[in-house]
């Protein structure tokens, strides 16, 4: 039997084409059905929050002017004022966002926890319909920022 008429150039190219197509289909099927490689890390990567280093700013504490007819000014009980102390309250455990600037658009610097105590350093400032006070943690100079007065309660100074 003479096979020469069946083994011409077009038959051979066609056979390679069919074989290549079947190989490609096999590789695609294996790729879609095999499990994805996931390295066993052994721990969950943590989110990293970058807190900028504090910059040196001049601390200006306004002093009240004494009116000789009234006498020495004093703060009423339960009134927030510079030099006083406040604690975060009324957040139902959610904490209070302390911001870099007064206002709802200010960048959140950190979250103050419920019942955390702060010293009042500046304020008040009115922004976005709220009264804002500049607070500083007495135990950590890096925990400073502006907070809404609605979630602050006056506490006696230590």
pLDDT band, residue 45 (cuts 50/70/90): low
pLDDT at position 41: 59
28 in the Ramachandran plot: left (φ > 0), alpha (ψ -120 to 50) or beta?
A: alpha
pLDDT at position 25: 92
3-class secondary structure, 18:
helix
Q: How far apart are CA 108 and CA 95, in angstroms?
A: 12
pLDDT at position 8: 84
List the structure tokens of 146.
């502006």
**pLDDT tens digits, one per residue of 48-60:** 677 666 665 555 5
Q: How far apart are CA 109 and CA 135, in angstroms?
A: 12
pLDDT at position 40: 64
Q: What global pTM score does this model have?
A: 0.52
Q: How far apart are CA 117 and CA 136, in angstroms?
A: 9
The residue among 10 and 39 whose pLDDT is bigger is 10
User: In this model, does residue 61 exceed pLDDT 60?
Assistant: no
Q: What is the DSSP string of 122-153?
A: EEEEEETTEEEEEEEETTEEEEEEEEEGGGEE
DSSP H helical segments within the chain, as ranges? 9-33
**pLDDT tens digits, one per residue of 117-145:** 999 999 899 999 999 999 999 888 889 99
**pLDDT tens digits, one per residue of 63-91:** 555 556 655 455 556 788 888 899 999 88
pLDDT at position 59: 53
């Amino acid at each position: 039997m003479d096979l020469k008429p069946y083994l011409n150039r077009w038959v051979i190219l066609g056979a390679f084409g069919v074989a290549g197509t079947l190989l490609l289909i096999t590789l695609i099927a294996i790729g879609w059905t095999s499990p994805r490689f996931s390295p066993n890390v052994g721990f969950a990567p943590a989110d990293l929050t970058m807190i900028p280093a504090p910059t040196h700013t001049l601390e200006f504490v306004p002093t009240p002017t004494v009116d000789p007819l009234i006498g020495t000014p004093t703060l009423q009980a339960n009134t927030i004022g510079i030099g006083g102390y406040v604690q975060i309250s009324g957040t139902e455990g959610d904490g209070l966002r302390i911001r870099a600037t007064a206002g709802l658009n200010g960048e959140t610097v950190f979250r103050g926890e419920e019942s955390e105590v702060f010293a009042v350093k500046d304020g008040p400032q009115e922004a976005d319909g709220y009264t804002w006070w500049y607070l500083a943690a007495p135990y950590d100079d890096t925990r400073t920022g502006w907070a809404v007065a609605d979630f602050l309660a006056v506490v006696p100074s230590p």
